[in-house]
Structures are given as C-alpha cells and as structure tokens.
Amino acid sequence: MANHSKVLVVFENPATLKELLAAAGGLEFLPLRDRRQASAFAKAYPNLTAVIVEQTAASKAFLEVLQNLQAAAPKLRRIALSDSSDLFCVIDGVHTGAINAVVYRPIDARQLHAAITGTATAAAPVPGQQRANRRVAS
C-alpha cells in the first residue's frame, strides 16, 4: 500500500473521525460532513483510493451516498463504517455492489487497511489452537 493513500471520510459524528485517525497509519483522510457533496468531491479528486461512509442509526442515507459514489466513481473502493446496528442495509449494499467492504466498530487498524486496499487479512490464531493443530499433524 502506498504511504499516502487518500481516503475521503463522510461522517456525522466527530468521534468517528478521531477513531479513524487513531487507526490511520500512513493514510491521509479527507473529512467531509456534508453527505450531499460526496460524489462531487470524488469527481474533483480523482486520485482518491477509497471512501469511507459512516452508517448511523439515525440515518439510512449512507447507502444512498455509497450508491451515488458507485455511479460517479465506479473504480473507487467504497467502505461502510458500521456498528452493525442495521445489517439489512449493509447486506443490501454489499449485494448491489455499492459497498466493497465493511469496517466494524471498534475500528481495528488491520481491518481498516485491508478494506481500503482490498486485501484479505488473516485472523489471529486462537490461543491453544496452534498446539492442538500440532498434535493432529503428529
């Protein structure tokens, strides 16, 4: 991953931006609070790597924003930041292609970077599982 990946962050809650900044590690976030400007912003900045749109319980507009971004900039990775309060909208977005990846709260830096780059992350082994696997292999 390039050290200066530019990521548009469409958010409502300032705490969301703070969470993302804490996990950023080499990412440059471009914050945007006005969801209506997301598509225009994506067109104005063609060097964006991805866009993260916050899902809030108060608003279901996040999916509409992601769908508009899909039409405006189809090659841009679209990521939903979710606390899993409304999985129906997330599932719908994944099935329609409006969402490329989902990052859940609390934000894990590896999951965030994998969502932005489109690479899979390996799950950490469960303690004790490695020993059990060695016994089976012997």
Taking the C-alpha atoms of residue 84 and residue 115, their distance in angstroms, rounded to an integer, is 16
DSSP H helical segments within 2-128, as ranges? 14-22, 38-44, 61-72, 87-96, 109-117
Q: In what order do the strands lie in the sheet with 101-104?
A: 27-32, 5-10, 50-54, 77-82, 101-104
Structural domains in the chain, CATH included, are: 5-137 (3.40.50.2300)
Tell me the mean pLDDT per 10 residues along the chain, length 138.
78 94 93 95 94 85 94 96 82 94 94 90 51 49
pLDDT tens digits for range 30-46: 999 999 999 999 999 98
Whether pTM exceeds 0.85:
no
Taking the C-alpha atoms of residue 73 and residue 93, their distance in angstroms, rounded to an integer, is 16
pLDDT in the model for residue 132 = 47
